[in-house]
């Protein structure tokens, strides 16, 4: 039972951190508008794929998980 409680506490903390990050992301003007992000607009049709933003986020998260995963 103790493992389930610990997992729920960790999940709750992760959700709080993700919520704070999502609320702060809107205040970073360059995030989502990097040079490698794809944006195609034709008439009333728009396609947007944040490729460079996704790669940057992947690298940052990989480094964080690698740093915290080391024991």
Q: CA geometry: angle at 3 spanning 70 and 9, to 5°?
A: 75
pTM of the model: 0.60
53 in Cβ contact with 34 (< 8 Å): yes
Q: Say whether pLDDT at 71 is over 70.
A: no
Residue pLDDT, tens place only, 33-50: 889 999 999 999 999 999
Q: How far is CA 5 from CA 13, 16, 53, 68, in A?
A: 12, 17, 35, 21
pLDDT value at residue 42: 95
Proportion of the chain above pLDDT 90, given as a percent: 41
């Amino acid at each position: 039972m103790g493992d389930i409680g610990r997992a729920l506490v960790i999940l709750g903390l992760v959700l709080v951190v993700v919520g704070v990050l999502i609320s702060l992301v809107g205040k970073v003007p360059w995030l989502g508008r990097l040079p490698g992000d794809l944006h195609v607009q034709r008439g009333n049709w728009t396609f947007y794929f944040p490729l460079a933003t996704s790669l940057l986020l992947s690298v940052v998260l990989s480094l964080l998980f690698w740093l915290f995963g080391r024991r």
